[in-house]
């Protein structure tokens, strides 16, 4: 996905999660594209974000607005419930963690997953998937929202094959930008 459609995915995931100012929102994959934009959109709205990402990404996700940080290698449910007794109000599972992510959500809360990976709802938790839908006005708003985009590398267009190999290998920290 490109920059704007990923931003729209994050915005629509937050709409489905329905976290209100003062609520806590756990975001898995908080250093990734959808997760990073989710953090950046939720924090200024008064939502306290618990970011789950790689240990080396703590500074980044805190700079994006996360109030709390949990390394992805930790016991997710136990760590989140230590930081937020009773569990978070809502969750956006941008890393496709599934049931492990659901355990950290309080009863009656909400959880949003992508790509059809929503787990079975338990404890009255409202579970949903985000399927990006056209929304021109929202997309225009997000284009000028000043959201930070993480860039891993800028490469000339003639290295497109290398860029595809790097994407396929995984582990990139940000987007690859191809310049003609």
How would residue 4 be classed by pLDDT, with cut points 50, 70 and 90? low
Q: Are residues 95 and 10 in the same domain?
A: yes
Q: Are residues 122 and 163 in the same domain?
A: no
Q: Are residues 132 and 154 in the same domain?
A: no
pLDDT digits (tens, 9 = 90+) for 16-56: 999 999 999 999 999 988 999 999 999 999 999 999 999 99
pTM for this prediction: 0.88
Question: Given this model, what pLDDT does residue 3 score?
Answer: 56
Residue 20 belongs to domain spanning: 3-141
Question: Given this model, what pLDDT does residue 150 score?
Answer: 79
* pLDDT reading at 61 higher than 90: yes
Q: Are residues 124 and 77 in the same domain?
A: yes
140-172: string of b/e by CB count within 10 Å (b at 16+)?
eebeeeebeebeeeeeeeeeeeebeebeeeeee
Domain count, the chain: 2
How would residue 162 be classed by pLDDT, with cut points 50, 70 and 90? very high
Share of the chain above pLDDT 90, in %: 68
Q: Are residues 171 and 98 in the same domain?
A: no
pLDDT digits (tens, 9 = 90+) for 98-147: 888 888 999 999 999 876 777 888 899 999 998 888 999 998 999 888 89
User: If you search the block for the tokens 């990402």, which residue do you land on?
Assistant: 53
Question: Are the C-beta atoms of 25 and 17 separated by less than 8 Å?
Answer: yes
Q: CATH number, domain at 115?
A: 3.40.50.720
Q: Are residues 13 and 51 in the same domain?
A: yes
């Amino acid at each position: 996905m490109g920059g704007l459609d990923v931003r729209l995915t994050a915005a629509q995931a937050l709409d489905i999660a329905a976290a209100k100012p003062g609520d806590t929102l756990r975001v898995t994959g908080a250093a990734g594209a959808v997760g990073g934009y989710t953090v950046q959109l939720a924090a200024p709205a008064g939502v306290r974000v618990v970011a789950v990402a790689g240990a080396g990404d703590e500074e980044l996700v805190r700079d994006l607005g996360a109030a709390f940080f949990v390394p992805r290698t930790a016991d997710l449910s136990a760590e989140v419930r230590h930081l937020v007794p009773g569990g978070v109000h809502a969750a956006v599972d941008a890393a496709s963690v599934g049931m492990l992510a659901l355990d950290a959500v309080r009863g009656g809360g909400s959880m949003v997953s992508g790509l059809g990976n929503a787990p079975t709802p338990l404890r009255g938790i409202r579970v949903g998937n985000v399927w990006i839908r056209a929304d021109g006005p929202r997309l225009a708003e997000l284009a000028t929202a000043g959201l930070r985009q993480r860039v891993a590398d800028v490469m000339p267009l003639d290295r497109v094959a290398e860029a595809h190999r790097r994407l396929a290998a995984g582990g990139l920290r940000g987007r690859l930008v191809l310049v003609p």
